[in-house]
Chains A and B, each alone.
Chain A
Amino acid sequence: MNVAAPSVPQPQPQLQLLEGATAIAESAILAGCRFFAGYPMSPFTPLLEHMSRALPAAGGVCINVESEIEGVNMALGAGATGARAATGSCGQGIALMQEAVAEAALNETPMVVFNMARNQQDYFQSTRGGGWGDYRTITLAPKDVPEAVEHTQLLFHLSQLHRAPTVLYGDPLLAQTRVGVHLRKIDFGELPPQDWALDGTRSGTGKSRQIWTWAMGKATDPGLGPDGHWQQIAAKFDRIAETEQRSESRYAEDCDTLVVAFGSAAKFVEYVVEELRDEGHRIGWFRPITLWPFPGPALAAATRGVRRVLVFELNAGQMIDDVRQYADDRDAIRFIGGVSIHESGLSFGPLLDAPEIRARILAASAADSPTRSRP
């Protein structure tokens, strides 16, 4: 896994039993988050609630806004001052935020967006974006609460490093499960100086800074304009696509069947694959940790010579588009996921369950008659 380790060994802090949403909020504060704005929506609400208690105590500001549009634009404004700022919701609320996310990407304002999603149906929203213009959002999909704690801090770092909005793809299990976690500040290395921040230091000098999506500049100090500016942004996202891919896999070099999954679903797949492995099945798993940039080359390598590539995701088939782009043999791909929503509409349905996943893997393995063999 390509997540940077802390550069200096630190004493292991005490384990704390924390609800996932609380652990994520505390990790954001450790990462320096000092502004948070959001509107309650399950399962995001506990994250906002904890921020409203903990952030003022840490010297920050948390605002329970009137709408998601207001929340994301406040985060955009706070981020423009150089503050570490964030907002969040579930996918339905984040749909409303897309214009401001696009603005942040195109005017290069860092901020973190927490999607405490109700399920896995926001993959396209996270990886394609719903706004306008040429941009993407770096999206991390943790498999469990301890990893969500780490990803939260990494997202603030990447957001500052690349001056771009970043997304945590969470879910109800990550928000609500209580787990013993070690909370500590993670050092991901030096960041460039914030020589772009609207922090008031140029006030009255005639050289005030601008953050402007169209980069037209001022009469006395013309900017690049939209053509030059957006070409630079496009080149930046190309660089990010190259450098920020993260993935994890096991047994890819020794399997006939490789199961691809992300987020909490990947943890379930990993569990089932280990069980099947113990029983002698030649099976492995692959997990994109960054949904964007999708770890295409790693998937291509992992699927080389594999007879079946099974895609498990809790939606009608979204990540499978990326798998199709990169899998070594597109004909080897089978979809074993599906839409599965709790009757409340707020959480996963019965498909996110180890016995069910196991049955689908075995059925898919028995159904086809593989024509390829490993080289």
Chain B
Amino acid sequence: MTSACLRETVPAEVQILLVGIGGQGIQLIGKTLALAATTEGKHAMLAADYGGEMRGGPSNASVVIGAAPLRSLPILPSAGAAIVANHKFTGPVPERLRQGGLLLVNSSIVDGNAGRGTHRVVEVPATALAAELKAPQSAGFVLLGAFNRLTGLVADEQLVAAMTSLLPPYRAQHAATNAEALAVGAAAVAEQEVLS
């Protein structure tokens, strides 16, 4: 990695890394964000990277959102923001999150000190908040709700609509709790400065 690769080469495009472990919903929140942006008429790209395991293995994704056809690569050399849901697999984040980039961490699991000094670290105890909702599987949506509140990338109702449409029929009963999780995540960072 060279320093040149860490600079903002495509400022018009928002590049986000999402990392966690299989079962945390990383792929679903990536799809939700990309679909919500597309529904708003923005250009979006979602590239997933995960193994054959249903649960427990590394599960990474990247989302790019822009106003014009995208130039970003499906394997991002660098990104301006990251959501880290689990400490076990931080994936490309330490190497590829640009200096000053937003690092949103699930502080129930991840030690937020890791990125301090180089990144704008925001901690959200997503697993604990999801447990309070009696829906531990919705921790990913807590993080996504917080992320969207911090970045203002898409309208909240678009996130809810996208999430609802992406759930398979046998998971449809979780739509209401997931929507609640998005709202809880947004509320958790309500005092934080919104990024321009």
Q: Do A and B bind each other?
A: yes
Contact present for A178 and B73 (CB under 8 Å):
no
Nearest CB in chain A: distance from B14 CB, A: 14
Task: Known contacts A15-B41, A176-B48, A344-B52; decide if A353 and B34 are in contact (CB<8 Å).
Answer: no
Contact present for A178 and B34 (CB under 8 Å):
yes
Task: Known contacts A17-B35, A17-B38, A271-B73; decide if A177 and B4 are in contact (CB<8 Å).
Answer: no
Task: Known contacts A354-B5, A355-B2; decide if A268 and B44 are in contact (CB<8 Å).
Answer: no
Q: How far, in whole Å, are A177 and B71 apart by their CA atoms in the complex?
A: 14
Asked if B183 CB lies within 8 Å of chain A CBs, one says no
Nearest CB in chain A: distance from B67 CB, A: 11
Q: Which residue of the partner chain, among B1, B5, B31, B69, contacts A178 with CB atoms under 8 Å?
A: B31
Interface string of B66-86 (1 = CB under 8 A from A): 000111011101000000000
Contact present for B51 and A355 (CB under 8 Å):
no
In the complex, chain B residues 1-60 whose Cβ is within 8 Å of any chain A Cβ: 1-2, 4-5, 9, 31, 34-35, 37-38, 41-48, 51-52
Chain A: interface residue total (CB-CB under 8 A): 26
Asked if A359 CB lies within 8 Å of chain B CBs, one says yes
Asked if A229 CB lies within 8 Å of chain B CBs, one says no
Interface string of A243-286 (1 = CB under 8 A from B): 00000000000000000000010011001001100110000000
Nearest CB in chain B: distance from A34 CB, A: 29
Contact present for B5 and A17 (CB under 8 Å):
no
**B residues within 8 A CB of A370?**
none
Contact present for A17 and B44 (CB under 8 Å):
yes
Contact present for A180 and B4 (CB under 8 Å):
no
**A residues within 8 A CB of B74?**
144, 173, 177, 264
Contact present for A355 and B44 (CB under 8 Å):
no
Q: Nearest CB to that of A18 among chain B residues?
A: B38
**A residues within 8 A CB of B46?**
17, 177-179
Contact present for B69 and A268 (CB under 8 Å):
no
**B residues within 8 A CB of A267?**
73
Contact present for A178 and B2 (CB under 8 Å):
no
- Of listed A173, A264, A352, A355, residue having the most chain B CB within 10 A: A355
Task: Known contacts A354-B5, A355-B1, A355-B2; decide if A15 and B43 are in contact (CB<8 Å).
Answer: yes
Contact present for B38 and A275 (CB under 8 Å):
no
Q: Nearest CB to that of B44 among chain A residues?
A: A180
Q: How far, in whole Å, are A279 and B7 apart by their CA atoms in the complex?
A: 12
Asked if A338 CB lies within 8 Å of chain B CBs, one says no
- Of listed A15, A271, A352, residue having the most chain B CB within 10 A: A15
Q: Residues of A at under 8 Å CB distance from B?
A: 15-17, 144, 146, 173, 176-180, 264, 267-268, 271, 274-275, 278-279, 344, 352-355, 358-359
29 A-B residue pairings within 8 Å (CB atoms): A15-B38, A15-B41, A15-B42, A16-B38, A17-B35, A17-B38, A17-B44, A144-B74, A173-B47, A173-B75, A176-B47, A176-B48, A177-B45, A177-B46, A177-B74, A178-B44, A179-B70, A180-B37, A267-B73, A271-B9, A271-B71, A271-B73, A278-B9, A344-B52, A354-B5, A354-B77, A355-B2, A355-B5, A358-B5
Enumerate the 5 nearest inter-chain pairs by beta-carbon distance, A residue then B residue, closest first: A354-B77, A17-B38, A178-B46, A177-B74, A180-B38
